[in-house]
Amino acid sequence: MKIPATPEEIAAVMARLRLRLPDEGAPDLPGDADPMPALPSAGMGPGQWVNASGRPATEAGALVYAHGGGFAHTEPRAERLLASHLSRATGRPVFAVDYRLAPAHPYPAALRDVLAVHDSLLAHGVPDIVLFGESAGGTLVLSALLALKTAGKPLPRAVVVSPLTDLTLSGPSLDANDGLDLINRAVLERVARQYLAGAPPDRAPQSPLHGDPSGLPPLLVAAGSREVLLDDAKRFAEAAPDCVLDIYEGMPHAFHLAVLTGPPLPTTTTFLRRLADFTHRRPI
């Protein structure tokens, strides 16, 4: 599905993303977002609950959020704020995973952290789990799905935003969209080198495009038409048997982060509505 945007809105999104500094300018959680645990017991691993649904995870289910940042960076305040938007849109508590970061903790440390959170939710009897990942977090979500399938474990649903799926960096849009996006091949080469630390870039689960997507749960993949990772999203969506691909015209990588500053924009509103519609109509 192609989602249009006016030139003025494209410019507004680009301006917000350029001005957004790590953890600066991100407002505190809104009043309806509860940071208290959404489960009666502990043991979830590193991370934080954000709940704007007003319901416990054992009733509403849960969304596991794997943040972006090239596997190496985190912006806790911004991530908590995005988690509140995700919780409000999907009507379920969100657990934002504070996974271990490269280069100190390269692959597979972050993947194991995401899997551990998923296993904890299952152990706590959470009835309905959604995985959400942006950028490097999208890679981790897809890697987690492949690892869970291989291990024969129960699979969640997954919503993946602008994912990096091919760590060989062979997507044509890496060059075709160079200069149109806010990241480029040089950035991604550094990201892949730090994260893999010698692991092969053409193998799954670390490089999801090189895995077998058969048997995966329904996926919603969102990408911007100007982003260098557009073909990473397209190629994975073409390979996955049950995948909806949304392409937001004129948008850069991780365009949805424009929701963190300023009033709502049509693009971010549409993104959250599509996320809500997908998770609500897709029973496990």
Q: Which candidate in 67, 118, 253, 256 is catalytic?
A: 256
CATH superfamily name and code, 2-281: Alpha/Beta hydrolase fold, catalytic domain (3.40.50.1820)
3-class SS of residue 226:
coil
* Known catalytic residue at 124: no
pTM: 0.94
Peptide bond into 154 cis (omega under 30): no
Side chain identity, residue 177: N
Nearest to 159 by CA among 231, 216, 198, 78: 216
Q: Say if CB 57 and CB 93 are below 8 A apart.
A: yes
Please, is 193 exposed, middle or buried when counting C-beta atoms within 10 Å of its C-beta (0-12, 13-18, 19+)? middle
* End-to-end Cα spacing for the chain: 23
Q: Say if CB 120 and CB 46 are below 8 A apart.
A: no
* Known catalytic residue at 227: yes
The conformation of residue 218, written as its DSSP 8-state character, comes to: P
Peptide bond into 205 cis (omega under 30): yes
Q: Which candidate in 84, 87, 227, 253 is catalytic?
A: 227
Q: Which candidate in 87, 120, 135, 143 is catalytic?
A: 135
* Known catalytic residue at 87: no
Nearest 10 degrees: Cα torsion 100, 67, 86, 268: 170
Residue 249: what are its φ and ψ, rounded to 5°?
Answer: -65, 130
3-class SS of residue 116:
helix
pLDDT per residue as tens, the chain (284 positions): 999 999 999 999 999 998 865 555 555 666 566 666 667 666 677 898 999 988 888 899 999 999 999 999 999 889 999 999 999 999 999 999 999 999 999 999 999 999 999 999 999 889 899 999 999 999 999 999 999 999 999 999 888 988 999 999 999 999 999 999 999 999 999 999 999 999 999 999 999 999 999 999 999 999 999 999 999 999 999 999 999 999 999 999 999 999 998 889 999 999 999 999 998 865 43
Q: Say if CB 67 and CB 74 are below 8 A apart.
A: yes
3-class SS of residue 160:
strand
Helix axes 7-19, 266-281, angle to 10 degrees: 90
